[in-house]
Structure 1
Amino acid sequence: MAELKENTARIIEVTAKDLPLHCPTPDMVAWNSHPRVFLPVAKNGGEALCPYCGTRYKLTGPLPHGHH
């Protein structure tokens, strides 16, 4: 079983395998800390900010084919 992460990081790096991206992510301890919101990180220049908790997500690496 994967270790759960605390929902306290303010900047989280994500990769193409994490798309479509939503916050909170399933591997966070407080996965139900606020309503799930999908974040358009690929369309926003590789960054997205969660409107509920303020966590900033940064996309690293290339996008998979089919994502715009």
Structure 2
Amino acid sequence: MQQWAWRLGMLVLAGVPAIVGGGVFWTLFGKWTGVIVWEVVLLFLISLIISKGDQRAKLEGPH
């Protein structure tokens, strides 16, 4: 099954907002706290997206 490729692609896709958003939050707040909060929120969101994708793949079955 090619689920690992989809998961890796989603993590790469989340890398752009992580880097850009981290820079934006650093510029806005000037502290690591804002950056860390942003990264945790982004990690939660990408985990949610990946878990939903895994559930959908199980329902569709092997291709």
Q: Does the pair score TM above 0.5?
A: no
Normalising by structure 1, we get a TM-score of 0.23
Greater per-residue helix proportion: 2
